[in-house]
Amino acid sequence: MAKVLGIIGGGQLGMMITEAAQNLEEVSKIIVLDPTENCPAAKVGAEQIVADFKDEDAIKKLSELSDIITYEIESGNSDVLKKLETHTEINPSPDTLRIIQDKLLQKQFLKENDIAVAEFVKIENKNELIDVIDKMGLPVLLKTRRDAYDGRGNYKINSKSEIDDALDLFAGKTLMIEKFVKFEKEVSVIAARNTKGKIATYPVVENIHENNILRTTIAPGRVSEKVKKQAEKIAEKTMEVLHGAGVFGIEMFVTADDEILINEIAPRVHNSGHHTLQSCDTSQFEQHLRAILGMELGNSSIKSPTIMYNILGPKTFKGEYNVLFKKQDNVYLKMYGKLESKPQRKIGHINIVDIENRGMDELFNQLEELKSNLVIEPKQT
């Protein structure tokens, strides 16, 4: 029988999961829990409970109304979810979420399972930090263990004179230190595991960040065959040991000598998988639904190379906006229905798809042209 799916978070990821669910007869209804009234998922037809992501009563209510719960953010309340797990199916499992949402536990877990990560240490005070720097050398990254995204919980310490500033910035937070990796490329693999334990990985993609925010994804990534195979193997192994069901975004660093280290795992659909909406038969959003509903996983190969470019709110204004954009056959604009633009806020993305086999260089030329044609301007009232 078709199921009611509850999603914690109704932003753009919840919106695209909702849209994918509308094409699956296995899902009868979507309910999202999100603090923003009329959130992106609600705009495309999901019912909404308006409440904070961590609101225990609201999460309970969502579980009572749903057959199965998933999430589009990793900062959900894993303790509350753990209590509800006995009567509502939750995927990925609260235990998997608990490990992933704490960067220290996540790195310890990966290391214990022989999956390579940058050298890391838990720190609790300034003396420990100084000791670690003396042993590891500089630069290092001071990271908050929880609730960090888009690089907001990271401070790169280049010299000992920055230690006080770094600690002040994260006062009251639990912290860890990571050795700074001189990577050549940042890549990611979107991987899915269904409730029956079947695993599928999408081809490795290359990610370019600006100010710590993902800006461009190149699918497939321009990496050697060896890196490609190795990254996909690491992603598969990660899925095996994590036991979770659903789609996961696995971010990795590739060093100059082709060593691959996992930077971070997201227990959810991921921005670097948005290209799959056009490049693959099965989008990451449909794949996530297939995985958590125990369906067969869909084909995850890339049919047409694609560049995904995030549309971020301009730094010059905050408020309602218009999008000016010149239509082209192989360019797919997806706006997230957010009422207001804010500086650096993700408000949409573009997929430029190589439908005519013109090659990656041509896609990049098209991207450059688009960047100058795409304008986000304040709405005149």
Backbone CA torsion sign across 207, 169, 178, 77: negative
Find, among 341, 339, 276, 336, the residue nearest to 315 by Cα: 341
CB 335 → ligand AMP: shortest distance, Å?
25
CB 179 → ligand AMP: shortest distance, Å?
6
CB nearer ligand AMP, residue 121 or residue 297 = 121
CB nearer ligand AMP, residue 265 or residue 350 = 265
Burial code (b: 16+ CB inside 10 Å, e: under 16) for 104-140 equals bbbbbbbeeeebebbbbbebeeeeebeebbeebeeeb
Rounded Cα gap, residues 294 and 136, in angstroms: 45
For residues 216 and 367, is the Cβ–Cβ distance under 8 A? yes
Burial code (b: 16+ CB inside 10 Å, e: under 16) for 211-222 equals eebbebbbbbbe
Per CB under 6 A, residues contacting ligand AMP are 118, 141, 143, 148, 151, 154, 178, 180-181, 186, 209, 212, 263-264
CB nearer ligand AMP, residue 46 or residue 104 = 104
CB nearer ligand AMP, residue 152 or residue 303 = 152
Long-range CB contacts (within 8 A, 24+) of 48-54: 48/10, 53/8, 53/9, 53/77, 54/80
Structure tokens at 229: 């195979």
CB 175 → ligand AMP: shortest distance, Å?
13
For residues 89 and 69, is the Cβ–Cβ distance under 8 A? yes
CA distances from 78 to 54, 72, 75, 85, 199 (A): 9, 13, 8, 10, 24
CB 301 → ligand AMP: shortest distance, Å?
26
- Which residue in the block uniquely carries the two structure tokens 């930090």? 129
Looking at the chain, how many residues does it have? Answer: 381
CB nearer ligand AMP, residue 205 or residue 370 = 205
CB 287 → ligand AMP: shortest distance, Å?
22
CB 180 → ligand AMP: shortest distance, Å?
4
CB 143 → ligand AMP: shortest distance, Å?
6
List Cβ neighbours of 347 (8 Å cut-off, separation of 6 or more). 311, 312, 313, 321, 335, 336, 338, 341, 376
CB nearer ligand AMP, residue 44 or residue 181 = 181
For residues 170 and 152, is the Cβ–Cβ distance under 8 A? no
Amino acid symbol at 170: F
CB nearer ligand AMP, residue 51 or residue 181 = 181
CB nearer ligand AMP, residue 59 or residue 104 = 104
CB 117 → ligand AMP: shortest distance, Å?
9
